[in-house]
A and B are shown apart, each in its own frame.
Chain A
């Protein structure tokens, strides 16, 4: 049962990822990416990472994708993908190179790992993850706030109209 659900969600994830890179229209790509991020949130739920599933939907599918759609609306892209491609041969070479990368990744990452399986299942409830973030990961957590502040100031400087 769990396997069938996994295969279904995985098919949605792979299909939407392919849609992102195959469709010309950037808005369609953004919507495909939202579907992809949502299916990854569903996989987090299946693994028991409830906090991350919620954060994925709120931060990625909510905030970050709204930013992307804003940028697409401001810039109205679309003309750069049509017309003759000066680097066509290099782009065609991406397919065999991508296939090679995939084989390498599966060999390294997708194999069965040696060693005993976990006896206890880690449940990623907001309670447990919050406790971890505010104890052993307190310093990186505080550093994150500085990073976000720096990003905000940097965006303001970049977006300011020069008089």
Chain B
């Protein structure tokens, strides 16, 4: 049996990689995928802690996180596509305005 601190440490590693990816990359799609990585790291920690305390509530929360992530990805990608239609460029460094 693997102790749950292994799982939560792995979750910390993945979350940190996601944060660094959001900061260092310029492509909004890759930034989005790094956010998915962070969500998955949090899910892993939730399941691990749920197993630690022997109940299923952690897994129910992970289910809701997955549903919210699906909605978030759909809307976020639509926003990126519509920005690309207007600006013809995709670098996040260009997007410093709140409106245009």
**Residue positions of A touching B, CB distance < 8 A:** 2-3, 6, 10, 13-14, 17-18, 20-21, 26, 29-30, 33, 36-37, 40, 43-44, 46-49, 51-52, 55-56, 59-60, 63-64, 67-68, 70-72, 74-75, 77-81, 85-87, 91, 94-95, 97-99, 101-102, 105-106, 109-113, 117-122, 124, 128-129, 132-133, 136-137, 140-141, 144, 147-148, 150-152, 154-155, 158-159
Contact = CB atoms under 8 A, between A and B. Distances in A.
Contacts, number: 226
A119 B51 CA distance: 10
B75 A110 contact: no
Given A20-B21, A68-B33, A112-B5, A49 B89 contact: no
A105 B48 CA distance: 15
A105 B68 CA distance: 24
Interface string B78-89: 111110100001
Interface of B: 1-21, 23-27, 29-30, 32-34, 36-37, 40, 43-45, 47-57, 59-60, 62-64, 66-75, 77-82, 84, 89-93
Given A60-B40, A67-B73, A98 B16 contact: yes
Nearest to A79: B90
Given A47-B48, A159-B81, A68 B74 contact: no
A87 B93 contact: yes
The 6 lowest CB-CB distance pairs between A and B, nearest first, are: A118-B54, A21-B21, A151-B71, A80-B91, A105-B12, A110-B9
A91 B49 CA distance: 33
B7 A47 contact: yes
Given A72-B29, A121-B54, A133-B63, A46 B2 contact: yes
Contacts of B78: 154-155, 158-159
Contacts of A120: 54
B16 A29 contact: no
Contacts of B8: 109-110
A36 B53 CA distance: 26
Contacts of A148: 67, 70-71
Contacts of B81: 71, 74-75, 158-159
A67 B20 CA distance: 23
B76 to A, nearest CB: 9
Contacts of A71: 29, 77, 80-81
